[in-house]
Amino acid sequence: MRHDWSWKAATKCFAVGLLVLGLTVGLAPVVGAIPINAVDGTWQDALPGGAATIDNSGIPRTARWGTPIAPTGQSGYNWTPAASFEAPTGTPFSLGTFNHLNFPITGTLLTSINMNFSMTIDALAPLTGLFQFTHNETPNLGTPDVVTISSPFLHTPFNYLGTDYFFSMLGFSSDGGITIVTDFTTQEGLENIAGLYGVITPAAIPEPATMLLLGSGLIGLAGFARRRFKK
């Protein structure tokens, strides 16, 4: 009787284990695309203080600085957030368009400015944070300027439809996301255009080998109990 109970118990354990294994694989599948309802970002905290004139009242959000020495006007940034879209998981996507108006200027030069960024995923609370744009303004001699972005979003977690994901800000891209950099080199006398790119990735899930080992262990348990029963 004791052997028979052991066999039944092991068989039941094996069946429950397979059920758990199936549920682990089947529940909360990774979604192919995440709905982004809104992206935004407003300029603030320009340094040195008072160096930039900021206007967040419309789209694009703008920041301007310097005294123009050419008809092109002041140097500055334009930021145009993307409209609502479906963000593919595991593939970089554009959050909006960043323009650097790199025009000849004198006077007080910008050294850095922050963007108060937000992104709303479906009905979830927005992901928010400050990006700092560090600006290296070079002399008006044809030498490129360099805009560097530092991101607070590195593997920022969120849950969508029962699955855990990470959002990360990647940086600038001028070729549709093929090449992404944190330092945007801009040419003198031009309006330089780039996209700001991010990526959404699923959180770690059990590797296939791990699932195979779990299944093999359950089968081994059942086999062991069967041998005990035969004895």
Which position has the higher pLDDT, 49 or 210?
A: 49
Judge whether residue 74 has pLDDT over 90: yes
Question: Per-residue pLDDT tens for 91-109?
Answer: 999 999 999 999 999 999 9
Residue 181's CB is within 10 A of a number of other CB atoms, namely 15
Average pLDDT over residues 9-31: 43
Enumerate the domain spans of the chain: 2-24+208-230, 33-202
Q: Which residues pair with 130 in a beta bridge?
A: 116
On whether the pTM is more than 0.85, the answer is: no
Mean pLDDT computed over every residue of the chain? 81
The distance of Cα 57 from the centroid of its chain, to the nearest Å, equals 26
* Per-residue confidence band for 70, with pLDDT thresholds at 50, 70 and 90: confident
Share of the chain above pLDDT 90, in %: 63
* Whole-number pLDDT of residue 28: 54
pLDDT at 214 exceeding the cut of 80 = no
Mean pLDDT for the stretch of residues 49-58: 96
Q: How confident is the model at residue 23 (pLDDT cuts 50, 70, 90)?
A: very low
Nearest to 196 by CA among 62, 40, 86, 90: 40
Q: Which residue has the tokens 């309802």?
A: 37
The contacts of residue 131 (CB under 8 Å, 6+ apart) are 41, 114, 115, 117, 149, 150, 151, 152, 169
Question: pLDDT confidence of 15, banded at 50, 70, 90?
Answer: very low
pLDDT at position 9: 42
pLDDT for position 38: 96
The pLDDT value recorded for residue 32 is 87
Instruction: Render pLDDT for 131-181 as a digit per residue (tens, 0 to 9).
Output: 999 999 887 777 899 999 987 777 889 999 999 999 999 999 999 999 999
**Which is more confident, 225 or 84?**
84
pLDDT the model gives residue 153: 77
